[in-house]
Chain A
Amino acid sequence: AQTVTQSQPEMSVQEAETVTLSCTYDTSESNYYLFWYKQPPSRQMILVIRQEAYKQQNATENRFSVNFQKAAKSFSLKISDSQLGDTAMYFCAFMKFARDDKIIFGKGTRLHILP
């Protein structure tokens, strides 16, 4: 079975700073997808970034980038130039490399961006 672990329940950073959220996972699959989802106070689930395990290059989306270490089964999210709107719960998530498979979420990290 796959597991996703987020060891930081809550973090706070000043606006414009850079913050890194940690995630580790466990799987016996060789191919899979990893995600970071953002859940703001509205509770909407928003996909922030996706990484395919077969790609060595780390994914980036504007101010969001990941550090994917496949051997270590580590998948961290870096938010650069953090903004007040980044305040949210962030979930690290895993999905097998299979069509229509379910998403397995970590427990989440609550991130506060302070003005």
Chain B
Amino acid sequence: AAGVIQSPRHLIKEKRETATLKCYPIPRHDTVYWYQQGPGQDPQFLISFYEKMQSDKGSIPDRFSAQQFSDYHSELNMSSLELGDSALYFCASSLGTSGGPYNEQFFGPGTRLTVL
């Protein structure tokens, strides 16, 4: 079965540079979530989109922005990178229109961002 695809899988950037992370949800899934997992930390929710509209926002820095496109893929744009942005960034997708209250979030493999 198709899974969530994230690209790139690994990314190395210098401080103050910009990075773009991409997420391709499972086909037919209309909801995308972004989580950030710092070294030795638990995943923290950043932002989510449902049907191309932002649906919820967590502790996402103002330097970060994200959007969901017409094909439901999502991109997380990160500017003025800081050392503390080094983390594993997960994208998850779900089928928000399943009709039930529970829609399992399927996680992608993550993008490991290293800021030097």
Chain B CB within 8 A of A105 CB: yes
B90 nearest in chain A by CB position: A45
Interface-located stretch among A21-29, A75-83, A93-101 = A93-101
Distance between Cα atoms of A52 and B35 in the complex (Å)? 23
Given A100-B55, A102-B58: A43 in contact with B110 (beta carbons within 8 A): yes
Report yes or no: B94 in contact with A100, Cβ–Cβ below 8 A. yes
| B78-97 interface bits toward A, Cβ cutoff 8 Å, 1 = contact, 0 = none | 00000000001010101010
- A44, A91, A99: the one contacting B42 at CB < 8 Å is A91
- B35, B41, B48, B109: the one contacting A44 at CB < 8 Å is B109
Report yes or no: B56 in contact with A100, Cβ–Cβ below 8 A. yes
Given A33-B102, A52-B102: A100 in contact with B109 (beta carbons within 8 A): no
Chain A CB within 8 A of B105 CB: yes
Residues of B within 8 A of A (CB): 31, 33, 35, 37, 41-45, 48, 50, 55-56, 58, 88, 90, 92, 94, 96, 100-105, 107, 109-110, 112
Residues of B within 8 A of A33 (CB): 102
Report yes or no: B88 in contact with A100, Cβ–Cβ below 8 A. no
Distance between Cα atoms of A44 and B9 in the complex (Å)? 12
Residues of A within 8 A of B88 (CB): 43
Report yes or no: B103 in contact with A100, Cβ–Cβ below 8 A. yes
Report yes or no: A47 in contact with B104, Cβ–Cβ below 8 A. yes
Report yes or no: A106 in contact with B42, Cβ–Cβ below 8 A. yes
Residues of A within 8 A of B104 (CB): 47, 50
Distance between Cα atoms of A50 and B101 in the complex (Å)? 14
B112 nearest in chain A by CB position: A43
Report yes or no: B110 in contact with A101, Cβ–Cβ below 8 A. no
Residues of B within 8 A of A50 (CB): 102, 104
| Known pairs A43-B88, A44-B107, A102-B58 / 6 extra A-B pairs, C-beta < 8 Å | A43-B110, A47-B104, A99-B102, A99-B103, A100-B94, A103-B105
